[in-house]
Structure 1
Amino acid sequence: MERQDIEVFLTLGEELHFARTAERLRLAPASISQTIKKLERRFGAPLFTRTTRRVGLTPLGRQLLDDLGPAYRQVEAAIERAITAGRGETGELRLGYMSAAVARRMLALIDTVRGHAPGIRVDIRETALSDLYGPLRRAEVDLSVLPLPVTEPDLTVGPVLLSETALLAVSASHPLARRAPVTADHLTEQTFLFAQGLPGYWVEHHLPLARSAVSVTTLPGFQEMLAYAASGHGVAVVGAQVEQFYPRPNLACLPMEGGSTFDYALVWRTDDLSPPAAAFLRHVVSSGRPPTL
């Protein structure tokens, strides 16, 4: 029996109605009748009883339905599992992320991907600003959502998941707190706060307005940056999410001239993209443009 013959027989055995079977399989009603007649010739006996009012299974038809149905469903399930595995849509995926806004965006994407690839089990892990590339390089995660730029020879940058406006975090009592937007002239001789361990190119990229006479102080991490800025010991370039997710009583976040942004993209080890990670990337790309904060 060919696959279509099996599908026609099983569907008619469930529906017991030629027109509904044809509609369900998107075939012509005449094709359903021809297939059943062909099968009945092969088996040498009727599979269905037909009257003007109803269609029923003969004892042979009932026996074939009971024997064939479960076996066919097992075959279909095996084929589907093989296709899913071949596409990488099964297995464990470890995702790294940094910041609350990225987590919210990523969790929404995970829900979408699970709807298309339920065989992928996703484990999420937070990454510290002071150790951006460590989890990837130590193979603790398969993909990580990191703030750009990422210019590392062993890492590949993929699609952007989130873009947010860059703001200047200062103490509420800082003279700059009364100025908006902040211009390059306002930033002369300011001390900029950054997390330790960030590449020089990353720091330079996020100092777009500080063109002269500035200094940089590095601190253990992001929370320390905010604490120093709130206490007047420097200024920090931060994303717009700080106002929503990391507010502090004495911290002001100011718009800056130039409209710079923080962009967060998926990054992976160039020579080590697992099948589940590749499947996740495919679904991310098909999900549309990234949101902006």
Structure 2
Amino acid sequence: MLNNPGMERQDIEVFLTLAEELHFARTAERLRLAPASISQTIRKLERRFGAPLFTRTTRRVDLTPLGRQLLDDLGPAYARVQAAIERAVTAGRGETGELRLGYMSAAVARRVLTLIDAVRGHVPGIQVNIIETALADLYGPLRRAEVDLSVLPLPVAEPDLTVGPVLLSETALLAVSTTHPLARRAPVTTDDLAEQTFLFAQGLPEYWVEHHLPTTRSTARVTTLPGFQEMLAYAASGHGVALVGAQVEQLYPRPNLTCLPIEGGPTFDYALVWRTDDLSPPAATFLHHAQTHRT
């Protein structure tokens, strides 16, 4: 019936609304049409079907048996069509759907979960799944489309990735063994760090390493390890020093590890990042609310 060229969408809306209101003037008001237009549409439909759909008197409008049959057949079908259209519009606006959000540290996870709760309060139709990613595979999950957005430590200078709002800034500390000569110094200065062996995860871009080195690249030695836990283990055993976030001692405590402030107060800044040519509607909606609710 919905595809019948003799019954257009407005015809259907007029019939269904009049069947509910049983009053021509109220139907015209609801549909914002002239009363004469309602009467003309109903007459056109009755000519199409070859029989009256409504009985009219000066006091009352009622459905005829044919009108009741048409209502019973057409009403549910039209409701399903309208619901399908609404779902498509909502999905297109990014108000429904699944969002896979990557994060790579427990400190970031706290901020991410708070943000997810705030976004869900405004857009409950988005389902957000968080996925932990590895420091040694910083951009891999995004590039393999395993996540739609990822919270990554800056800088990110990749031509296929776009950087969005910063969600968290965390003071950078120097993780050293409790027996290390620097362990009793606070804050640690740039001069103190000359000739130290700095521990970084494997696979990090050279520009990222240079950005976070608190001393010049020419005076620092860099050792790369499989991941973050290995960095902490090596630092705790006195085989180098590692740059870590301020919450490491609380979140990853080790008996032989201490974290020292660094003169100048460097930070780790974490921002939302996505594939430049592939931002889904749910991801775009999440980004919008992330910018609104960032602290």
TM-score norm. by structure 1 comes to 0.73
CA distance in 2, matches of 1:210, 1:234: 16
1:150 partner SS: coil
User: Does structure 1 residue 179 correspond to structure 2 residue 181?
Assistant: no
**Letter of the 1:251 counterpart:** L
Considering only CA atoms, is the larger Rg found in Structure 1 or Structure 2?
Answer: 2
CA distance in 1, matches of 2:216, 2:230: 21
* 1:189–1:212 contact (8 Å) kept in structure 2: no
User: Does structure 1 residue 149 correspond to structure 2 residue 155?
Assistant: yes
2:5 aligns to what?
Answer: none
* 2:193–2:214 contact (8 Å) kept in structure 1: no
2:240 aligns to what?
Answer: 234
CA distance in 2, matches of 1:73, 1:242: 55
Q: Any gaps of 5 or more consecutive residues in structure 1?
A: 11-31, 48-58, 61-66
1:197 aligns to what?
Answer: 203
Q: By how many angstroms is 1:46 displaced? A: 10
1:118 partner SS: coil
User: Does structure 1 residue 130 correspond to structure 2 residue 136?
Assistant: yes
Deviation string for 1:171-219 (max 9, x for gaps)?
Answer: 1111111111110111111100000110000000001334652200111
Q: By how many angstroms is 1:283 displaced? A: 1.3
2:47 aligns to what?
Answer: none
CA 77–260 in structure 1, closer or farther in 2 if over 3 Å, else same: same
1:101 aligns to what?
Answer: 107
1:266 partner SS: strand
Q: By how many angstroms is 1:241 displaced? A: 1.7
CA distance in 2, matches of 1:97, 1:250: 27
Task: State which of 276, 281, 291 in structure 2 corresponds to 1:275.
Answer: 281
CA distance in 2, matches of 1:251, 1:172: 6
1:182 partner SS: coil
* 2:135–2:227 contact (8 Å) kept in structure 1: yes
**Letter of the 1:242 counterpart:** V
CA distance in 2, matches of 1:98, 1:141: 12
Deviation string for 1:10-32 (max 9, x for gaps)?
Answer: 9xxxxxxxxxxxxxxxxxxxxx9
Q: Any gaps of 5 or more consecutive residues in structure 2?
A: 1-9, 21-25, 40-53, 64-71
2:126 aligns to what?
Answer: 120
* 2:197–2:222 contact (8 Å) kept in structure 1: yes
Deviation string for 1:56-91 (max 9, x for gaps)?
Answer: xxx99xxxxxx9x99998788666534422212222
Deviates more, 1:117-126 or 1:190-199: 117-126
Deviation string for 1:200-256 (max 9, x for gaps)?
Answer: 000000013346522001111000000010111100011112022111111110110
RMSD of aligned alpha carbons = 3.6
Deviates more, 1:74-83 or 1:256-265: 74-83
